[in-house]
Structure formats: structure tokens, C-alpha cells
Amino acid sequence: MSGVRVYDQELLSIGLTLPGFVERSRVIASLPSLGLLTLAAHTPEHWEIEYREYDELPTDSADQICQQGFGVVAISALTARIDEAYALSAELRARGMLVILGGLHVSAMPDEAASHADIIVKGEGERAWAQLLSDLERGCHHSIYDSSVLAAESHFHQEHPVPRYDLLDLDRYNRLTLQTTRGCPLHCSFCAASRTISPYRKKSLLQVRRELEAILKLWPRPFIELADDNTFVDKRWSRELVALLSEYPLKWFTESDISLADDETLLKLLAKSGCAQVLIGLESAASESMTGLDTQGWKSRRHRDYAEKVRKIQDHGISVNGCFILGFDQDGPDIFARTLDYIESLQLAEVQITLLTPFPGTSLRQQLLEEGRFLPGVTWSQYTLFDLTFRPARMSEDAMRSGFHELMKSVYSEERVNARRKIFQTCIRQSRS
């Protein structure tokens, strides 16, 4: 289950007409689940597998899946769609199917998920998968498979099966995902990705090459989105990675922190490698809102250099998609105007703005639970990044929502989207020259 549905009705109605917002939403909704393709690769050949996107299943999907004779259904969903995953699981189990649930939400909320499935997989699925399938074949499976209690071997670094991209209907996707690193050494309070599934680790470059070549066999000039949390943490390894990517005819996109700007050699390699854009979590226009954001205070110390660093990256021909979050405890009613001005001043090629969201597994969630600040009646399906889930510290809920709506309208207005497209085109020309 990929993509999300925004609940906030006003935002929903304005969002549908905002060009920049609609484009990025479409891209996110069309990314396949690399986790499931990886599990498929770790499945013995005598198992027959099909990969399905939930949104393309018919309304009577549970009946159809049962009629097609499948024995096991594995579902992966993020928080915003976990209730739909639980509902589908209930329908399938009522028809006698065995359902396995896994992914980030399930790993952070194992007790909740366990009550909605026959089996849950916590943490890195591929480490538990062979054992799980072998137990199923012997008819004696457990209800939880937890990769953290399995032997801490380092197979992520070594050679292992290539995700089964061949299971996808490629006409449906405008880009494919490939993972080169997992986790992140920074610990931002709102981010579960940095530690829930795995600590920070890098894949072997030989493995990256094998996966890339598997994609190229199916799609000769692909667009690849690296499914990494923070790709360029290790600069020396990153230079080798980017040199490898530049050997192939592809365009690609990834996520990084701002320290990318510190490595001139890496920037030059990136420009030559077909890197179309990097997404960077700049987090806030207000430096004071970044106090305590990550445990080391690393991001807030970098805030004063943002303008210089963004310019340096874009001058090398790599466009920056700057991400901003609204709703930090230090944010007052002036944060919306400050964010708009700041975005303009940075001359970013693309922008993403979201509301602070306390996902399971984060220290932010723990803090808000202790302070009793969750809004009544909020369900997981509202964890979309665009719906308000908790009481802001320095403004009313209505002020937060309406300020965010107005900011969305301004940031994604046709005029501003066109201005950013021109910056993007300049970056492309720069990288060609």
C-alpha cells in the first residue's frame, strides 16, 4: 500500500489544484514496495509469487485473492494506511488465508499489529524470511519474527539476492527504487526511519551494481529513486557509489543532509552521474525551532549556512528539493510568513512542506504522549504529514491549520512553481556545462 489520502477537506480541495503538490504526490504514490520485492527475492523457487498494488485490486479483492488459490498474503503499509491493511487482513483471514504484516509501522507497534495478523515481522524482513517460510512449510510457525533477536550477521553488506523487480508491471511506474544505505546516524526527534528497522548501514557496491543491472535489464534508461534515509553520510563511500552510478545511462534522485555541500569532489561526481535532484531536510525557516531537533544539535548548528550550502549544491547543477516542517513547539503564528520568505531567499528548485507528525517509534511521539497533547479522535489514517494530529504549543489548532493552508497555496501557486521550474532548468544547464 503506497501513497496517502489527505483527510483535511479544505487542504484536499486546494491541494488538487496545486501543480507542484500534485506532481510529487503522484510520484510517491507510484513507488513500488522495495521491502516486498526484497522478500520475494529471499523466497525459495518452489514458492509461486505475485506482487500487487492494493489500489489496483478490485473492490472484492479478498474474494478474488482467495479464488486465485494463494496460500499466504504478505502486506506492507506505512502508518497512514495501516488501518486499511488491518481491514484487508481481517477480510482475508475470515476467508481462511494466512496473513503476514511487516514494515515500519508494524515494527514500531508490534503488539497492535499482532492482533491483526497471523504473523508479524519486526525489523528487517529478509533476515527472518527464510526461517518464517520454512516454519510455514512445516506447519509450525510463530506469531512474531523479530530480526533484532536473530544472529546479528552483516549480510546487508554482503552479496544477497536482488529484489524481484521482474514481478512488477513496469508500465505502472515512473521510477523504481533501489536501496544503497539503511538507517541514519542522526536521530531527529520526528524520524522513525533512522532506527526502527535498522541502524545506519551501507550496502556493498558490488551488490548495488548487481541490483542496478537487474533494473537496467528490464528498463534500459531508468529513473531511480534511492530508497535511502540519508545517502551521503560516508563521503568516501559515497564518491565510489556515485562513480558507479555514473557508469550507467540513468537519472536518479535521493535524500541527503546538508553536509553534501562540504564535499567538492562528490558534488562534481554527482553532476556527471545523472543525479537529477537531492531532497534535503532543511526542517525550519526559524533556527530557534531546530533547537533539540536531533540529539547532537547537528542540524541547528548548520542552519546559518543553509543559503550558502544550497547555492553551492545548485551551482554544481544538482537541484535541491528543500523540505520544511511546520508545527515545532517553538513555532509561533509568524512561522508561515517566515517560511515563505525563507523559501524565496534560498532560491530552491523544489520545495516540500509538511506538518510535524508524531509517528510511532519517535521520541516526539513519546514527548507528546507524556504531555497529553494528542487531538481526540485522531486515527492512523490521519498520519499523512498534512493533517494535524496534536495540539500546537504556541498557537491554536485552527491557526495552525489555516496558516498551513495559506502557506500551501502560496508555495505551490502556479507563479512560484513556474519560478522554481526555471531554477531547475538552470541547474540542468549548469550540470551539462
3-state secondary structure of 113: helix
Cβ of residue 191: shortest distance to ligand SF4, in angstroms? Answer: 3
Smaller CB separation from ligand SF4, 235 or 422: 235
CA distance 140 to 146: 16
Q: What is the grid cell recorded at 126?
A: 529478509
Binding to ligand SF4 (CB under 6 A) within 237-276 occurs at: 257
Binding to ligand SF4 (CB under 6 A) within 283-322 occurs at: 294
- What's at 177, amino acid-wise? T
Phi/psi-derived region of residue 191, left when phi > 0, alpha when psi is between -120 and 50, beta in every other case: beta
Cβ of residue 230: shortest distance to ligand SF4, in angstroms? Answer: 4
The piece of 97-105, 126-134, 189-197, 370-378 that touches ligand SF4 (CB under 6 A) is: 189-197
Establish if 387 lies at the interface with ligand SF4 (CB under 6 A).
no
Cβ of residue 373: shortest distance to ligand SF4, in angstroms? Answer: 21
Establish if 191 lies at the interface with ligand SF4 (CB under 6 A).
yes
Cβ of residue 299: shortest distance to ligand SF4, in angstroms? Answer: 7
Establish if 352 lies at the interface with ligand SF4 (CB under 6 A).
no
Binding string to ligand SF4 for residues 220 to 239, with x set by CB under 6 A, is what? ---------xx---------
Establish if 358 lies at the interface with ligand SF4 (CB under 6 A).
no
Cβ of residue 278: shortest distance to ligand SF4, in angstroms? Answer: 12
CA distance 387 to 326: 11
Sign of CA dihedral 192, 198, 202, 208: negative
Establish if 188 lies at the interface with ligand SF4 (CB under 6 A).
yes
Q: 99 - beta bridge partners? A: 73
Binder among 184, 340, 351, 356 for ligand SF4 (CB under 6 A): 184
Label residue 264 exposed, middle or buried (CB < 10 Å: 0-12, 13-18, 19+): exposed
CA distance 190 to 65: 37
Q: What is the grid cell recorded at 360?
A: 510511532
The piece of 187-195, 216-224, 347-355, 412-420 that touches ligand SF4 (CB under 6 A) is: 187-195
Cβ of residue 227: shortest distance to ligand SF4, in angstroms? Answer: 12
- List CB contacts of 394: < 8 A, sequence separation 6 or more: 329, 330, 331, 332, 333
Smaller CB separation from ligand SF4, 284 or 431: 284
Establish if 187 lies at the interface with ligand SF4 (CB under 6 A).
yes
| Beta strand extents in 203-336 (DSSP E only) | 223-226, 251-256, 275-283, 319-326
Binder among 1, 186, 348, 349 for ligand SF4 (CB under 6 A): 186
Q: Are 275 and 333 in contact (CB under 8 A)?
A: no
Number of neighbouring beta carbons within 10 Å of residue 386: 24
Sign of CA dihedral 14, 17, 21, 24: positive
CA-wise closest residue to 318 among 423, 172, 418, 208 = 423
Classify residue 72 by its DSSP letter: E
| Pairing, β 181-182 against β 251-256 | unpaired
Cβ of residue 190: shortest distance to ligand SF4, in angstroms? Answer: 7
Q: How many residues bind ligand SF4 (CB under 6 A)?
A: 12
Cβ of residue 323: shortest distance to ligand SF4, in angstroms? Answer: 9
Smaller CB separation from ligand SF4, 89 or 194: 194
Binding to ligand SF4 (CB under 6 A) within 42-81 occurs at: none
The residues binding ligand SF4 (CB under 6 A) are: 184, 186-188, 191, 193-194, 229-230, 257, 281, 294
